[in-house]
Amino acid sequence: MRSIAPLDPATYRPHRIHGEGRAWAQTNCYTDVIIEMLHGLGYEPVAALPFTLTIDFEGDQWTFFKFPDADLWELYGLDIQELAVWRPLVDHITEQLNAGRPVLVELDSHFLPDTAGTAYRIAHVKSTVCVNEIDVQRQHLGYFHNQSYFNLQGEDFRDLFQLDGPVHERMLPPYIEYVKLPPAGPVARPDLVEASLAVLGKHLRRIPAENPFPRFRARFAADLEWLMGADMETFHAYSFATLRQYGACYELTDTYLRWLEERGHAGLAACAQPFRQITETAKVFQFQLARAMARRKPLDLSPLEVMAVCWEDGMEQLQKRFG
């Protein structure tokens, strides 16, 4: 058995970001897995959330937001590097875990039992997991995925790594990264809040030069013409790339600012409120879009204008406070 942290899915408790009462239960596979990896290894992931302020409307989607590697290095001393794939995947993972390094790897959700009901033994969908534990002899894998920590074994292990031969066509090798941890392990930083504020200042200089919501509204209005004739599978893909991305991202912004308030920076709850309103409005608007597509009825676009006002308000408050 090769493991980084002694974790058991039966007793593991996800980070509060993945707890009850969230508007968006999931963000995206990479961000969710980094949140749980940090939490499971003993770090506080909320300190690294300032990057959420920098997302933008990119033309055909909103930014697929991810923790910048530089921030993880600056705040926690984690060094994330790409791994060149030239051997069987199981060998690479085993070697890196032997070296004390968690492995971030794209795996096929078809063989991940935690996706039961959506992809497990149903569909071939790539998703990033963080491998914390492996035992090739026992055919056992412990991994962070989405909102928690899980195990798989036996046939799932053999099929995932194609140990019995190809079980489906793999077009390209997966993208893999390994995480080099500080030699001393996770150490509580007494200056974590101040270090996080320094990262916040850096990202406030990187926010979009103009409000992204008017551009998104114009594109959305144009897209709505063909969306009304599309099926629900198209709705889910479109929503994931747009409404869900910025809705989930700004909920993390809200979480971050309230975390700072809890640590002595009074008044940030007011700064957080516009971002909270964006995420809640986006959630409702997503349901309204689904209903409009299902019933082929007009959709009121005024919520996008409300979100534009909230973005201006939130960013203006933050720039006055920290800019």
The pLDDT assigned to 42 comes to 95
Percent over 90 (pLDDT), the chain: 89
- On the 0-12 / 13-18 / 19+ scale of CB atoms within 10 A, 187 is exposed
**DSSP E strands, 137-262:** 140-145, 148-153, 176-180
Residue 288 lies in a domain: yes
Percent over 70 (pLDDT), the chain: 98
- Report pTM: 0.94
Residues 88 and 172 in one domain: yes
Residue 72 lies in a domain: no
Residues 123 and 264 in one domain: no
Residue 273 lies in a domain: yes
**At which of 113, 148, 180 does a domain end?**
180
Report how far residue 313's alpha carbon sits from residue 323's, in angstroms, rounded to the nearest whole number: 14
Residues 119 and 167 in one domain: yes
The 10s digit of each residue's pLDDT in 192-245 is 999 999 999 999 999 999 999 999 999 999 999 999 999 999 999 999 999 999
Report how far residue 313's alpha carbon sits from residue 320's, in angstroms, rounded to the nearest whole number: 11
Over residues 170-199, the mean pLDDT reads 87
The 10s digit of each residue's pLDDT in 74-104 is 999 999 999 999 999 999 999 999 999 999 9
**At which of 180, 209, 242 does a domain end?**
180
User: What's the domain range around 226?
Assistant: 192-322
Cβ pair 121, 113 in contact under 8 A: no
Report how far residue 97's alpha carbon sits from residue 102's, in angstroms, rounded to the nearest whole number: 6
Residue 89 lies in a domain: yes
Residues 131 and 32 in one domain: yes
Residue 53 lies in a domain: no
Report how far residue 66's alpha carbon sits from residue 43's, in angstroms, rounded to the nearest whole number: 17
Residues 147 and 293 in one domain: no
Query: What angle, 0 to 180 degrees and rounded to 10, lies between the N-to-C axes of helices 232-241 and 268-295?
Result: 160
Report how far residue 292's alpha carbon sits from residue 303's, in angstroms, rounded to the nearest whole number: 14
Residue 68 lies in a domain: no
Residue 62 lies in a domain: no
Residue 55 lies in a domain: no
Residues 111 and 244 in one domain: no
Residues 168 and 206 in one domain: no
Q: Domain tally for the chain?
A: 2
Q: Where are the alpha helices (DSSP H) in 228-300?
A: 232-241, 243-262, 268-295
